[in-house]
């Protein structure tokens, strides 16, 4: 997983360096596009606080996958990896530390509300306020408004990263609330990991009123590693799996020691792709990251198979997005697609066995625009 974690101050630009060294007092919101280093800055800020005798901190991430990913790469930091927790795991442990008996429901959304209400009850008793020196939140746009308010009460300060275009969970975007609850907002303007062609595709997905585009703010080294975007129409999912595995065989040699990804909009598709990967004897160097199935990232891990939700915060040198037709009709579907394709650094391959959403087809068309308008014969289905 080369180039994922910054290990030297020379890796930082001026605005990134200033964020790490912000005063200890005060709450801060960090925004910026994919690849601008938000998660890395969150961890470096946590390290800064720990070294500045502010060790009573907790770093909350939304998914188990991201927690495992950070734990695999953040060993150079002074704070223990146990301080990086998923919000639900942290809620369970926090309530247990105050002797609260827990009987949560099994369904995710109901369980999420259950833990929120239990912590609100605890705070109403006057206990636990300003419990932490700082609470650091990654992907904060996906938390519920009342969750954000709870974090604000529990931490003397909060330090959050967010990006509205990557909101893919139900509920309102809490970025405006975070702006009102923090003392200062800091915007990162540049990104480094996403190739030019992938930037162009992502920019073509955003709606007309959006002005935050990736291509004008890209510092990716296109000369060193030319980027690529490919759309592959297949007969069925089995053919998608076959073509993905065929390309992975080449990419494992082309990108030694780099993480490669296979993601899909649904758990069922990700699990089927995992089965085909196992049949191709690639499971030994791969991990499956879907709801109910999470494996630790090891030093030999080369491939991650995940849903889009599980892959949030991850990055892959080469990425394969399966069953792109299944994005249609999903909540925040365009944000899901944007989040999916911006996980890729250099090589992006999109697959589908059914017609893809019109906005994605149009975005792909911007990469290879037609030189002429269709003629009547083509409109009536005849070939020249």
The string of DSSP letters for 198-267 reads HHHHHHHHS-TT----SGGGB---TTTS--EEEEEE-SSHHHHHHHHHHHHHHHHHHSTT--EEEEESSH
Contact 306, 288 (CB under 8 A): yes
Mean pLDDT of 88-100: 93
DSSP category for residue 102: -
Buried b (16+ CB within 10 A) or exposed e, 185-194: ebebebbbbb
**Eight-class DSSP state of 193:** S
pLDDT at residue 45 tops 70: yes
Q: What is the DSSP letter of 101?
A: -
**What percent of the chain has pLDDT above 90?**
65
Cα 91 from Cα 87, distance rounded (Å): 6
**Which is more confidently placed, 28 or 292?**
28
CA atoms of 44 and 262, how far apart (whole Å): 28
Dig out the tokens for 120 from the structure: 């609100």
Q: What is the dihedral of CA 54, 115, 32, 312, to 10 degrees?
A: 110
175-189 tens-digit pLDDT: 999 999 999 999 998
Confidence at residue 126, expressed as pLDDT on a 0 to 100 scale: 87
| Residue 199 burial (10 A CB sphere; 0-12, 13-18, 19+) | buried
In percent, the amount of the chain with pLDDT more than 70 equals: 94
Q: What is the C-alpha separation between 365 and 362, in angstroms, rounded?
A: 5
**Span 53-76, average pLDDT:** 83
- The packing angle between helices 333-341 and 196-205, to 10°, is 180
pLDDT of residue 35: 87
Q: Which strands form 57-61's sheet, in the order they lie side by side?
A: 84-86, 57-61, 132-137, 155-162, 28-31, 184-187
Q: Strand order of the sheet with strand 286-290?
A: 228-233, 344-352, 316-321, 260-264, 303-307, 286-290, 293-294
pLDDT at 116 over 70: yes
Q: Report the pLDDT value the prediction gives residue 338, as an integer from 0 to 100.
A: 94
Q: Is the model's pLDDT at 133 over the cut of 50?
A: yes
Mean pLDDT of the chain: 89
Q: Which of the residue ranges 22-36, 210-224, 318-332, 336-350 would you say has the lowest mean pLDDT?
A: 210-224
Residues 265 and 307: beta-carbon distance below 8 Å = yes
| Backbone phi, psi, residue 153, to 5° | -75, -35
Q: Residue 1: which pLDDT band, with cuts at 50, 70 and 90?
A: very low
What is the pLDDT at residue 383?
Answer: 54
Token readout for 271 is 């699990």
Count of CA atoms in the C-beta half-sphere (13 A) of 250: 7
> 157 near 26, Cβ under 8 Å?
yes
What residues contact 31, with CB distance under 8 A and at least 6 apart?
A: 38, 161, 162, 163, 175, 185, 186, 187, 188
Q: Where does residue 266 fall: left (phi above 0), alpha (psi -120 to 50 degrees), or beta otherwise?
A: beta
| Position 210 pLDDT exceeds 90 | no
Q: How confident is the model at residue 208 (pLDDT cuts 50, 70, 90)?
A: low
pLDDT at 138: 92
pTM score of the predicted model: 0.87
């Amino acid at each position: 997983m080369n180039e994922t974690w910054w290990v030297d101050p020379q890796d930082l630009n001026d605005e990134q360096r200033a964020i790490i060294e912000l005063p200890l007092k005060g709450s801060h919101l960090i925004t910026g596009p994919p690849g601008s280093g938000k998660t890395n800055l969150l961890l470096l800020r946590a390290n800064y606080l720990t070294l500045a005798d502010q060790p009573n901190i907790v770093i909350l991430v939304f998914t188990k996958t991201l927690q495992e990913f950070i734990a695999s790469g953040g060993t150079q930091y002074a704070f223990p990896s146990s301080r990086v927790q998923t919000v639900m795991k942290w809620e369970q442990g926090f309530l247990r530390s105050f002797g609260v008996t827990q009987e949560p429901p099994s369904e995710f959304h109901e369980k999420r509300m259950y833990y929120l209400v239990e912590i609100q009850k605890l705070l109403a008793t006057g206990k636990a306020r300003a419990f932490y020196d700082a609470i650091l939140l990654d992907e904060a746009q996906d938390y519920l408004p009342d969750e954000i308010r709870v974090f604000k009460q529990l931490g003397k300060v909060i330090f959050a990263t967010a990006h509205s275009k990557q909101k893919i969970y139900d509920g309102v975007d809490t970025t405006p609330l975070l702006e009102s609850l923090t003392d200062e907002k800091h915007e990162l303007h540049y990104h480094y990991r996403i190739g030019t062609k992938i930037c162009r595709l992502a920019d073509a997905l955003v709606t007309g009123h959006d002005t935050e585009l990736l291509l004008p703010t890209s510092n990716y080294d296109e000369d060193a590693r030319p980027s690529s975007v490919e759309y592959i129409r297949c007969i069925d999912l089995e053919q998608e799996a076959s073509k993905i595995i065929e390309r992975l065989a080449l990419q494992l040699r082309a990108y030694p020691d780099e993480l490669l990804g296979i993601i899909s909009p649904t758990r069922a598709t990700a699990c089927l792709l995992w089965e085909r990967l196992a049949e191709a004897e690639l499971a030994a160097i791969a991990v499956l990251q879907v709801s109910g199935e999470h494996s630790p990232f090891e030093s030999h891990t080369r491939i991650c198979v995940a849903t889009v939700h599980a892959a949030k915060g991850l990055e892959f040198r080469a990425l394969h997005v399966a069953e792109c037709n299944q994005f249609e009709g999903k909540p925040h579907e365009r944000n899901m697609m944007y989040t999916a394709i911006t996980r890729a650094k250099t090589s992006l391959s999109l697959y589908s066995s059914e017609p893809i959403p019109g906005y994605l087809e149009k975005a792909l068309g911007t990469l290879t625009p037609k030189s002429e308008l269709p003629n009547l014969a083509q409109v009536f289905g005849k070939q020249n």
